[in-house]
C-alpha cells in the first residue's frame, strides 16, 4: 500500500537521511579535499628542494643578519573523522584521524616557515620550535589544533 510506504519513509527514511547524509557527505568530500590539499603540500615541498630548517642553536658559520620568523596553521578534523575519533576514544588505542591531521598540520607549518625564510632572504632557520595548542569554539563543540613553528632566520 502506498500510504504505508510513505509512512515508513517519513518515520525511518528521513531521520536516517538526516543522520547519515551529512556524515556520508563529510566522508566522501572530506577524503577528496584532504587528499588534494596534502598532494599540493607534497608538491610544494618537492619544488622547494632543500630543507633550510634546523633545531640547532648555533649557526653554521658567520652570520650577517638574523630575525625572528614564525608560521602557524589551524587544523580541524572533518565530521566523519570526528565520529571515528570519538568511537576510538571509547576503546582506546591509536587515533589515526588525529594522527594524520596533526602530522599534516606540522608539515604545512614547517613548509610555511621555510617559504617565509626564503621570501625574506634568509639562508637558514635555526632553533626551530614546534608548539601545539588547542583552540575551541565558543560552544566548545568543535576542537581545532594550532601548530606554531618559529625560529631564527639567518643570513650566512
Partner 1 sequence: MAPAEGQPVQTIEMMMSNTETIPGHSIVQMLGVVTGSTVRAKHIGKDILAGFKNIVGGELKGYTELLQEARAQALQRLVMEASSRGANAIVNIRFATSAIAGGAAELMAYGTAVVVG
Nearer to partner 1, 15 or 21 (CB): 21
**Measured from the CB of residue 59, what is the shortest distance to partner 1 in angstroms?**
5
CB of 16 to partner 1, least distance (A): 19
3-state secondary structure the chain: CHHHHHHHHHHHHHHHHHHHHHHHHHHHHHHHHHHHHHHHHHHHHHHHCCCCECCCCCCCCCCCEEEEEEEEEEEECCHHHHHHHHHHHHHCCCCHHHHHHHHHHHHHHHHHHHHHHHHCCCCEEEEEEEEEEEEECCCCCCEEEEEEEEEEEEEC
CB of 6 to partner 1, least distance (A): 30
| CB nearer partner 1, residue 50 or residue 64 | 64
* Residues of this chain that bind partner 1 (CB under 8 A): 22, 25-26, 29-30, 33-34, 37, 57-59, 62-79, 81-82, 101, 105, 108, 116, 119-120, 126-127, 129, 131, 133-140, 142, 144, 146, 148, 150-152, 154
Amino acid at each position: 500500500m502506498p500510504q504505508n510506504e510513505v509512512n515508513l519513509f517519513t518515520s525511518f527514511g528521513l531521520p536516517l537521511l538526516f543522520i547519515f547524509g551529512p556524515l556520508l557527505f563529510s566522508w566522501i568530500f572530506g577524503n577528496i579535499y584532504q587528499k588534494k590539499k596534502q598532494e599540493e603540500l607534497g608538491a610544494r615541498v618537492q619544488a622547494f628542494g632543500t630543507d633550510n630548517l634546523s633545531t640547532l642553536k648555533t649557526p653554521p658559520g658567520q652570520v650577517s643578519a638574523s630575525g625572528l620568523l614564525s608560521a602557524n596553521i589551524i587544523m580541524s578534523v572533518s565530521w566523519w573523522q570526528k565520529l571515528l575519533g570519538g568511537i576510538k576514544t571509547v576503546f582506546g588505542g591509536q587515533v589515526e584521524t588525529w594522527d594524520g591531521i596533526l602530522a599534516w598540520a606540522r608539515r604545512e607549518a614547517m613548509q610555511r616557515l621555510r617559504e617565509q625564510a626564503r621570501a625574506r632572504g634568509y639562508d637558514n632557520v635555526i632553533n626551530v620550535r614546534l608548539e601545539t595548542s588547542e583552540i575551541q569554539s565558543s560552544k566548545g563543540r568543535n576542537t581545532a589544533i594550532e601548530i606554531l613553528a618559529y625560529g631564527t632566520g639567518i643570513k650566512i
